[in-house]
Amino acid sequence: MFTALTNPEIARYSRHLLLPEIGVAGQLRLKNARVLIVGTGGLGAPLALYLAAAGVGTLGLVDFDFVEESNLQRQIIHSVRDVGRPKVASASDRIKAINPHIKVITHDTTLTGKNALEILRDYEVVADGTDNFQTRYLVNDACAMLGIPNVYGSIFQFEGQSSVFYAKEGPCYRCLFPEPPPPGLVPSCAEGGVLGVLPGIIGTIQATEVIKLIVGGKTPHAALPVGETEPDGGKPLIGRLLLFDAWRMQFRELKLTKDPRCPLCGENRTITGLIDYEQFCGLKKPETEKPVAKITATELKARLDRGDPLQIIDTREPHERAIVKFPTAKIIPLGQMTRRMNELDPAIDAVFICKIGQRSIFAIRALERAHYAGKMFNLQDGINAWAREVDKSLPTY
């Protein structure tokens, strides 16, 4: 444990030291702190940058992904030269460039029920920058079991939200969302889009909450050197959900309370260990469910070249088709699919397309439930695959 700041650190963090709410004692807590950031994308980027600049002594980064060009619109910790690199490696380099005093521990892996407790137990605060429900529930459950505060953030299009789920002092994520939404009901940012600055705003709010928790002594290992005065720590978002609408520039706040029936942190707990989160979120298909027939971009091209009779159904919205159009496709957005089913010819094979081949699966499933009798195929990996493999003059997005 560090008991003093060096002269270079005093110079670096002088603007913190001048704040009575932080001071030397608060800065020492930051120096001794260990924070894990789950995800180094849109939310993880400002989290990592600001926590490094603030002097958090040890930053852990969990991510299995690689930097892509489409990330650069919002994931400001990465740059053009990092495209193709592991995100944790790119983020680590940037953190060290900002603050060489910071120790960075990279976990280039997917966080799962098998490794989450082992990874998280070495940290005293976890900041959740993920973009999927299975990892959010996993992080929440692991934090509750380890007694660690979970600084939560999520974003979609123009809206974001943030809170601190700390089962020791307030509600957990399951108290707010006992069950995940049905698969496909909430599109990802890759499908629905996101305003580039939005994760910067929400991620910076998360970084603020992390700093307040550490400075205020709400972390499990927040001892102070002998003789130091206890810092204030402010009012963290424990028991509150902050909602932000960037398009209208509005903030709202909801009060959250612990659910006494919560299976994780309530009075009669039934969750005592980490579970299969993909199954919990409905991502594992029942063995009895018939798989959707698929066709690759090159296979579709071959059938079109042969002159096979096909009806190609574009399930995307009008503003998305303005980015790139598929030739000869019939336009039926996903939400209109079943009521416009009579526009399809069951005697002709139908190929359904979208951006990455996910919404088109839901379109096929909806038609199956409506007892559409024709043969249906899903264009694997969507129109992006067509642009990569067949018509390279088209953009991917």
For the domain covering 294-389, report its CATH number: 3.40.250.10
Q: Where are the domains of the chain?
A: 7-280, 294-389
Contacts of 103 (CB under 8 A, 6+ apart): 57, 58, 59
The answer to whether 144 and 175 have CB atoms below 8 angstroms apart is no
Contacts of 297 (CB under 8 A, 6+ apart): 379, 380, 381, 385, 386, 388, 389, 390
CATH ID of 7-280, from 3.40.630.10, 3.40.640.10, 3.40.50.720, 3.30.300.30? 3.40.50.720
In the residue annotation, 143 being an active-site residue is answered as no
Residue identified by tokens 């574009």 is 314
In the residue annotation, 354 being an active-site residue is answered as yes
Tell me, what's the pLDDT at 188? 80
Set 172, 265, 281, 354: catalytic member: 354
The answer to whether 171 and 257 have CB atoms below 8 angstroms apart is yes
Q: Do domains 7-280 and 294-389 have the same CATH topology?
A: no
Tell me, what's the pLDDT at 224? 58
Distance CA 291, CA 365 (A): 10
DSSP state of 309: -
The model's pTM is 0.85
3-state secondary structure of 52: helix
Tell me, what's the pLDDT at 232? 73
Residue 185 CA: distances (Å) to CA of 133, 191, 192, 335 = 12, 12, 11, 11
Set 143, 172, 189, 262: catalytic member: 189
Tell me, what's the pLDDT at 132? 92
Residues of the chain with pLDDT under 50: 226
The DSSP secondary structure of 174-241, one letter per residue, reads: HHH-SSPPPTTSS--HHHH-B-TTHHHHHHHHHHHHHHHHHHTT-STT----TTPPPP------BTEE
Distance CA 93, CA 181 (A): 37
Distance CA 320, CA 251 (A): 28
